[in-house]
Amino acid sequence: MQIALLRPRVEGPGGAEATGRHLARGLAAAGHGVTVYGAAAEFENAAALGPQVRYVRVPVWGGKTGRLLTYVLNSRRLLRKTRPDVVLSLERTLFQHVYRAGDGCHREWLTRRAPFLTPGKRLLQDISPFHRVMLWLEKRVFASPELKRVIANSRQVKEEISRHFPVDPAMIKIVYNGLDHGAFHPVAEAERRSLRQKFGVSEEEGIILLVGSGFARKGLTFLLEAVSRLNNEPVQLWVVGKDRLGPYQAQAQKLGIAAQVRFWGPQTEVVPFYQSASILALPTLYDPCSNVVLEALGCGCPVITTAANGASEFIRPGENGAIMARPDAISEWAEALRHWLARSRDPRVSQAARDAVAHLSWDATVSRTLEVLEEAAAQIRLDQHMEQYQAHP
């Protein structure tokens, strides 16, 4: 098959970018012609995608909303010229046969976010041109007659799409993200001690880790409050990711825990942080299926996250972590942190974490995605035959 894969960016450390790269390379390795339509400069993607994958740059311009609109318009224009067998989009666009909803449901995200906004910011969200365009595109995707299949990366996302849009649930296939177990795995105790020494952490100290960019959505403000209630226990909070630090540094100072919080910024190599940490804590307001949860579990690290995270489907409460009903239930979060700090060195916890994601692999994700693409391609051919028959009975 000739497969077009749509995603504005496939380079960089983000989970969505990594998914795009794995799918493009995996589908090409399976013998299919794969062309990625991206918005970045071609030279930035050549090394990321490899020689088997063709790359076409889609012209974009303007600000955030302008770049989104020009990408969806120009990608459709380019696709009309090439007419691939099947179009797999990892973005909400104007034309796709298979839509992978890896970013979740935008309507659901805005609904979940609203209660945590001030009235003024809620009004700005409601009138935001970017959000208006995103909601229009999302509605159009699910109403499009060209759409043959939807891929959800968690049961949560499938349920959200079915609830918000008139999509036949049978069209929605769940394909979880993959996991590279060669990279994400625990280390022996001696190596763990060595890693901690390099980070300047003693064996007695607990490490609470948050990984992710966009700290407001990830619930960092709530986590800082919860850590402040640990009563001066020997614990550090490590924050890995990109965002403005000023408000959170000021909050940590006000709470009296500034000395316990370390902001590491974005990291190209996150594995040593997982391998050194006691707990991954992610009080996210919304995540379709957070890759960092899967990665932490693969490294044997217990996870505490919210029920609004599709990756909570891999948490076995009491065995490898906890699922919290709300991100802002500070007392409950403090209690859960205290509990899992005490249990984090239990080898049974580490094994339960690894077991939960042992079945995940990028090979399996690519293989299952290919099955969905083949189903869509067969449906496209059938529809074309029906059109021809109706035109010439």
Could you tell me which residues come within 8 angstroms of residue 225 by beta carbon, excluding any fewer than 6 positions away? 255, 330, 333
Cβ count within 10 A of residue 139: 15
β-pair type (86-89, 235-240): unpaired
User: 40 pLDDT band (50/70/90 cuts)?
Assistant: confident
pLDDT per residue as tens digits for the range 333-387:
999 999 999 999 999 999 999 999 999 999 999 999 999 999 999 998 877 766 6
Tokens 């300047």 sit on residue: 200
pLDDT band of 186, cuts 50, 70, 90: very high
Q: Which two tokens stand for residue 179?
A: 């996991």
Looking at the predicted structure, is the pLDDT value of residue 11 above 80? yes
- Tell me the Ramachandran region of residue 149: left when phi exceeds 0, alpha when psi lies from -120 to 50, beta otherwise: beta
Mean per-residue pLDDT of the chain? 94
Domain residue spans of the chain: 2-178+361-391, 189-357
Residue pair 3/35 in contact by the 8 Å Cβ criterion:
yes
CA–CA separation, 357 and 350 (whole Å): 12
* Residue 129: closest CA among 66, 61, 39: 66
Pick the CATH number of 2-178+361-391 from 3.20.20.30, 3.40.50.2000, 3.40.50.920, 3.40.50.300: 3.40.50.2000
169 near 150, Cβ under 8 Å? no
Q: Residue 10: what pLDDT?
A: 85
Give the pLDDT confidence of 247-298 residue by residue, as tens digits.
999 999 999 999 999 999 999 899 999 999 999 999 999 999 999 999 999 9
Q: What pLDDT does residue 381 have?
A: 81
pLDDT for res 28: 96
* Prediction pTM value: 0.93
In terms of Cα–Cα distance, which of 93, 102, 105, 174 is closest to 141?
93
The SS3 of residue 216 is: helix
Q: What is the pLDDT of residue 188?
A: 93
d(CA 232, CA 227): 9
15 — pLDDT class (breaks 50, 70, 90): confident
Domain 189-357 has CATH 3.40.190.10: no
Q: Looking at per-residue confidence, does 367 or 15 come out higher?
A: 367
Find all residues with CB under 8 Å of 80, minimum gap 6, and list them.
none
Q: Helix and strand tally (H, E) in the chain? A: 16, 13
The CA angle 49-55-60, to the nearest 5 degrees, is 115
Calculate mean pLDDT across residues 81-102: 95
pLDDT in tens, 104-146: 999 999 999 999 999 999 999 999 999 999 999 999 999 999 9
pLDDT score recorded for residue 258: 96
Note the pLDDT of residue 380.
86
